[in-house]
Structure 1
Amino acid sequence: MNKRILATAVLAALPLLSTGSAFAEEAADNPVTANVSLVSDYAYRGISQTDEKMALQGGFDYAHSSGLYVGVWGSNVSWIRDGEDAARDAGATFKSSHNSLEVDVYGGYKGTVGDFGYDVGLLQYVYPGRYTQTWRTSVAKRPDTLEGYVGLSYKFLTFKYSHAFTNLFGAPDSENSKYLDLSAAYEIADGWTLNAHFGRQVIAGPAESYNDWKIGVTKAIAGVTLGLHYVDTDINHVDIAEPRVIFSVAKSF
């Protein structure tokens, strides 16, 4: 498989993942919450899912007082179609999947013990589309991915471990891939929060593992949250993994 195609498939898909589930924490009074956001680029684990173009995202969460929660979150994406274009450029012939959407369905249990928090759950990434045998031979395996995760937090620090029970976003033989996420969110002034993140994506199989990081600020103002973040990885010669600055506007209901 062409390395560019494989990179596009493997590196697919809140930092924004956490965006949807994070809103569930605000449901102490109202168990059902919704969120919507507009971002200049949908970056997931440091990789652009929209070819460095804008994305409209949103979701719903239900959080029970016991600590159980479920949610759904979605975003437009282009990485699968980009992979198809690369495969056609390499001479492959197949029918398009017609995918332009990512839908994340998740559920779990979270709670706190003093200043410590914990979060355990499952997350299913779904990429609606038609993935024929010819497509799976020419482009990648089916991109739908199931991960389990365990998160621990202390005050403004969070560590999350994610484990893939299926192939990771279409990469062959990539079951049991892992992602390690260390993040911090520290309020530096009224309404201003400093965000920092370092992640390590360990990919089973032939694809290369990599690191990603981001740093930036968010500002709550007039009922919305504005964000400005610098995102980068240590992947070389892949345009969608190069350093960039991302602007976001988010609203929860």
Structure 2
Amino acid sequence: MKEKTMKKLSQAIVLAGAMTAGLTAVQTAQAEISASVDIASMYLWRGQDLGLDKGTAVVSGALDYSHESGLYAGVWTSSGDSSLGNETDFYAGFAGAVGDFGYDLGYVTYIYSETAADEFDDAAEFYLGLSYSMVGITFYVPSDSDADGLYTVLGVDIPDTSFSVALGNYSDIDDEYTHLDVSYAYNDSVGFTVSKIVDEANEDSYDKSMRYVVSYSLPIEM
């Protein structure tokens, strides 16, 4: 679900039209299988454009299974970013709600094409999402005990509008940056996101230019 430009960690986590995922816990009414195909104008993940050629479009697809108990699992695959190649993510978790309080606990692994094997090791994270009413926060922690890095995203759905705002922060021993995303859902299929890195520990380590993403999601009848 790399919350990368389209990471869709089940309905609970990974795509902000540019990836502001993880704001609301999944609520399932019955066991079901769902699928979708998504197109975005940029591979935006945690405030960064992952395309080698900036603004490279990405096509992705997801297949999800959810059970009324709150258990869910799925696979998300995309044309990938220009430097790491095609990507496939597998994820599973448990989500639910008690009144206005929602929760989501799960695990996701990111697998890249063989062409990228020498450049980047496959990665995995545990995540915990908590939400109350229109506010949600999700924490992502590497599953490898030797790996550094914590990513936290705080999101708010603005009442009576189709707008949402997300503030994400990545930090490890040697690096830290914060990004701000503002998203607008035109309808159930079309979304727009504006994203900008607003702060960083190491000056000039990241491109702070404004990023604009348009995304389109097409549900597939199962």
Q: Do these two structures clear the TM 0.5 threshold for a shared fold by scoring above it?
A: yes
Which residue in 1 is equivalent to 2:91? 106
In structure 1, the residue matched to 2:135 is 157
The structure with higher relative contact order (CA 8 Å, sep 6+) is 2
Deviation string 1:167-203 (CA, Å, 9 cap, x unpaired) is 9xxxxx7x131111101223535xxx11110011012
Which residue number in structure 2 is paired with residue 57 of structure 1? Answer: 60
Matched, 1:181 2:153: yes
Instruction: Note the residue ranges of structure 2 that are not aligned, 5 or more in a row.
Output: 14-25
Task: Answer 1 or 2: which has greater strand percent.
Answer: 2
Are residue 73 (structure 1) and residue 37 (structure 2) matched? no
Name structure 1 gaps, 5 residues minimum. Answer: 1-12, 81-98, 168-172
* Secondary structure of 2:158's aligned partner: strand
Aligned-pair CA distance for 1:153:
0.7
Q: CA deviation at 1:26?
A: 7.2
Change (3 A) 1:122 1:23: closer
* Selected match of 2:11 from 11, 18, 22: 22
Q: Which has the higher helix share?
A: 1
Supply the AA of the counterpart residue of 1:244: R
Change (3 A) 1:67 1:29: closer
1:20–1:147 CA distance, 2 compared to 1 (3 A):
closer
Change (3 A) 1:23 1:163: closer
Please tell me whether Structure 1 or Structure 2 has the larger radius of gyration of its CA atoms. Answer: 1
Q: Is the 8 A contact 2:91 2:108 kept in 1?
A: yes
Query: CA-atom RMSD, angstroms?
Result: 2.5
Aligned counterparts of 2:190 and 2:27: Cα–Cα separation in 1: 18
User: Corresponding residue for 1:212?
Assistant: 179
Per the alignment, do residues 17 and 113 of structure 1 end up closer, same or farther by CA in structure 2, a change over 3 Å counting? farther
The alpha-carbon deviation at position 231 of structure 1 amounts to 0.7
Alignment of 1:113-128 (within 5 A): 113-128=98-113
TM-score by length of 2: 0.80
**Counterpart-to-counterpart distance in 1, 2:207 and 2:114:** 22
Question: How many residues are aligned here?
Answer: 202
| Aligned with 1:227 (options 182, 191, 199) | 191
Moved over 2 A (4+): 13-20, 23-30, 77-80, 185-189, 234-242
TM-score (norm 1): 0.71
Provide the rounded CA distance (Å) in 2 between the counterparts of 1:153 and 1:16.
22
What is the DSSP-based 3-state SS (H/G/I as helix, E as strand, rest coil) of the residue aligned with 1:188? coil
> Shift of the alpha carbon at 1:240?
5.6
CA contact 2:5–2:42 (8 Å) conserved in 1: no
1:110 and 1:27, CA in 2 relative to 1: closer, same or farther beyond 3 A? closer
- For the residues of structure 2 that align with 1:230 and 1:52, how far apart are their CA atoms? 13
Letter in 1 for 2:171: V
Percent of pairs identical after alignment?
25
Q: Does the 8 Å contact 1:43/1:49 carry over to 2? A: yes
